[in-house]
Amino acid sequence: MSEQRRYKQLASTRALKKTMTRYYALSSYHRFWGKPLRRPLAWVTSGAPVELLRSFNIHPVYPEQYGAICSTNKATAGLCQVAEAAGYSQDLCSYATSHIGSVMQPALAPMNGLPKPDLLLACNNICGTVLKWYEALARHFNIPLFVVDTPFLPDQLTDHARAYVLEQLKDITASLERLTGRRLDREKLAECVALSNEVVTLWKEIREFCRARPSPLNGPDLFIHMAPIVVLRGTRQAVNYYRILRDEVQKRVEQGVSAIEGEKIRLVWDNIAIWSNLFKFFKMFSERGACFVTDTYTGGWVMELAPGDPMESLATTYTSIFLNRSPEFRARQIIDLVKEYNADGFVMHSNRSCKPYSLVQEVIRKRVMQETGVPGLVVEADMADPRSYAEEPVRNRVQAFLETLS
């Protein structure tokens, strides 16, 4: 952890740890309180309309987030090998395979694996992998799998796509009513949506503070402090936490405190972090005065739920997220970030695990460079599996890139 100290630690990190520890403790002990309180536990994909589950008092747990935890705990390679021995290819998403490994051999996994689910909810707005992954889980546990099929949007969101998603949400609602023996509480749903929106607004504010020069946050800060918006979206705890963080970041800006010593270069990051080497990797940049002032990944959670009927706004928002959009849309997003954050360049993590994120990066890179005139670097790695991280070539590329910028 000595590497971590090179960054100015946010005081909020303590509150973050408390929030996350509490969440995982609650999840681990679900077997004691879940049944008596009639609150089932669901495994949920990161882009699923979790507000619906929360309105039914279902406790959500996130295998993708757990995939990141496995990676920072150096457990991914071992868990992937367990899945590989069972026939799953090493080329598949390492969040999925390490998680499947943790299901097969919990003893090898952090916290002895995630608490067992009563149901599964997958939304394919982020990738096709989640469908196959959750099918495998549904077969393994023999429990209900709910899928929200959010059609990919080559262009704008269409009425018929929205109507299709809405119809599925209604159908899933009816199934959840049967499963929990409760009627949908519309007020509670509206409340969860409102809480989500509050969190999203705070997260947006926090991110926008990084337009300041020097930036109060660096990439790894964003990656670490995104945890609550992933797993506690739609709750009061998340709102409370992000208020603390917002206040601290605001103060940093007011006092001109920078995230890294001597910010000289401002960069935009694209794709999931390289969890297995998070601090080591970003240190290559920070020690040369390069700060990641914003990114597309943690920005993915800036998704305001439109006002109006909550169910409709869930359908609209969750179908429109950036991973469900064309390269054109995604290029536009990075172009805007480069401009709004006054970035000098951008770095794309070509992430072997995540094809929908990564396969289009080269055409996006070209377009962004054309339109903004700033250079973009691609580094090939994997978000979780350290076996796909080759330090030397990465270091050389990064060095060469930063030299052109300074």
List residues near other proteins by CB under 8 A. 86-89, 91-93, 124, 127-129, 131-133, 135-136, 138-139, 145, 147, 149, 151-155, 158, 160-161, 163-164, 166-168, 170-171, 326-328, 350, 352, 355-356, 358-363, 367, 380
Residue 335 CB partners (closer than 8 Å, separation 6+):
367, 368, 371, 372
Q: Is 322 in the site for ligand SF4 (CB under 6 A)?
A: no
Are 317 and 303 a contacting pair, CB within 8 Å?
A: yes
Given ligand SF4, other proteins, none, residue 95, with its beta carbon under 5 to 8 Å by kind, binds ligand SF4
Helices (H), 35-88: 50-55, 63-72, 76-85
Beta strand ranges found along 202-296 (DSSP E): 265-270, 290-295
The answer to whether 126 contacts ligand SF4 (rule: CB under 6 A) is yes
Structure tokens at 51: 């507000």
Which CB, 92 or 368, lies closer to ligand SF4?
Answer: 92
Nearer to other proteins, 248 or 382 (CB): 382
Does 137 participate in binding ligand SF4 (rule CB under 6 A)?
A: no
Query: Minimum Å distance from CB 21 to other proteins?
Result: 34
Partner in contact with 124, chosen from ligand SF4, other proteins, none, beta carbon below 5 to 8 Å by kind: other proteins
Closest CB to ligand SF4 among residues 48, 265: 48
Q: Please, which residues have CB within 8 angstroms of residue 406's CB and are 6 or more apart in sequence?
A: 264, 265, 288, 289
Residue 113: what residue type? Answer: G
Q: How far is the CB of 362 from ligand SF4 (least distance, A)?
A: 17
Residue carrying the six token digits 């699923």: 48
Q: Give yes or no for a cis peptide into 393 (omega within 30° of 0).
A: no
Q: Under 8 Å CB-to-CB from 403, ≥6 apart: which residues?
A: none
130 binds ligand SF4 (CB under 6 A): yes
Nearer to ligand SF4, 127 or 232 (CB): 127
Among 76, 125, 129, 235, interactor with ligand SF4 by CB under 6 A: 129
Contact indicator for 366, 327 with CB cutoff of 8 Å:
no
Give me the residues paired with residue 121 across strands.
44, 146
CA dihedral 255, 260, 263, 266 (to 10 degrees): -110
Cβ closest to other proteins, residue 167 vs residue 247: 167
- Under 8 Å CB-to-CB from 376, ≥6 apart: which residues? 345, 346, 347, 348, 365, 368, 369
Sequence-distant (6+) residues with CB within 8 A of 400 are none
Distance CA 394, CA 381 (A): 9
Give whichever of 189 and 273 is closer to ligand SF4, judged by the CB atom. Answer: 273
Q: In what order do the strands lie in the sheet with 145-148?
A: 59-61, 41-44, 119-123, 145-148
Among other proteins, ligand SF4, none, the one that 64 touches (CB under a kind-dependent 5 to 8 A) is ligand SF4
In the complex, least distance from residue 154 CB atom to other proteins, rounded to whole angstroms: 4
Nearer to other proteins, 78 or 327 (CB): 327
Asked if 347 interacts with ligand SF4 (CB under 6 A), we say no
Nearer to other proteins (CB atom), residue 72 or residue 326: 326
Among 44, 93, 199, 321, binds ligand SF4 (CB under 6 A): 93
**Contact window for ligand SF4 (CB under 6 A) among 126-134, 250-258, 302-310, 362-370:** 126-134
Check binding of 353 to ligand SF4 (CB under 6 A): yes
With tokens 């096709």, the residue in question is: 128
Binding site for ligand SF4 (CB under 6 A): 64, 93, 95-96, 126-127, 129-130, 353-354, 357
